[in-house]
Amino acid sequence: MDKTLLKEMNKQIQEELYSAYLYLAMSAYLEGEALPGAAHWMQLQQQEETMHGMKFFNYIQSRGDKVELLELEKPPKAFGELVDVFKASLEHEQHITARINTLYELAVKVKDYSAQTFLSWFVDEQVEEEGNAQGVLDKLEKVGDSKEGAFFIDNELGKRVAGGTEE
């Protein structure tokens, strides 16, 4: 694999595992805020992000290249109101989308067709990831400061199940 592409894919493992760490921190925070449904939603998000990191890990190894695990930054401890948590989640997913797009552009530039095929799944996945966060955020913004509305949404978030389109 091209050296720059390999370096950036190893960086993406770090990005995906930090995403998992961030969502775990959000889950802990939400649990402490008596929002168990949202905490559950974030735990499932953490599982997805871990899987994404492992996809990169396994892909690099399948190409006969070396995985280099980079240090993870400590995530924040507090996130504000429930709407703020989902704003942070959406912003983070937008950051990951930009990273995936950059990786895809690099794969095109170096004519790595296998990497382009691999990354296509992530391009599609990021549409879903941003859409999920935006969907919750839209509902939270509609209910505004209503504690009853937040309680209802928290209850709905607790019904999220693992799986979906994950491979």
- How confident is the model at residue 166, as a pLDDT? 37
Domain count, the chain: 1
CATH number at residue 66: 1.20.1260.10
Q: For residues 130 and 94, what is the distance between their CA atoms, to the nearest angstrom?
A: 7
Q: For residues 7 and 3, what is the distance between their CA atoms, to the nearest angstrom?
A: 6
- How confident is the model at residue 165, as a pLDDT? 38
Question: Quick one: tokens of 136?
Answer: 């919750």
- How confident is the model at residue 163, as a pLDDT? 73
Residue 167 lies in a domain: no
Residue 165 lies in a domain: no
What is the 3-state secondary structure of the chain?
A: CCHHHHHHHHHHHHHHHHHHHHHHHHHHHHHHCCCHHHHHHHHHHHHHHHHHHHHHHHHHHHCCCCCCCCCCCCCCCCCCCHHHHHHHHHHHHHHHHHHHHHHHHHHHHCCCHHHHHHHHHHHHHHHHHHHHHHHHHHHHHHHCCCHHHHHHHHHHHCCCCCCCCCC
Q: For residues 39 and 24, what is the distance between their CA atoms, to the nearest angstrom?
A: 8
Residue 147 lies in a domain: yes
Residue 163 lies in a domain: no
**Alpha-carbon dihedral 20, 25, 31, 36, rounded to 10 degrees:** -20
Q: For residues 108 and 20, what is the distance between their CA atoms, to the nearest angstrom?
A: 28
Residue numbers of the domain that contains 47: 3-157
Residue 106 lies in a domain: yes
- How confident is the model at residue 31, as a pLDDT? 98
What is the full per-residue pLDDT of the chain (167 aa) written as tens digits? 999 999 999 999 999 999 999 999 999 999 999 999 999 999 999 999 999 999 999 999 999 999 999 999 999 999 999 999 999 999 999 999 999 999 999 999 999 999 999 999 999 999 999 999 999 999 999 999 999 999 999 999 999 998 753 33
Question: Quick one: tokens of 21?
Answer: 């760490």
Residue 25 lies in a domain: yes
Type of residue numbered 108: V
Residue 166 lies in a domain: no
Residue 104 lies in a domain: yes
pTM summary value: 0.94
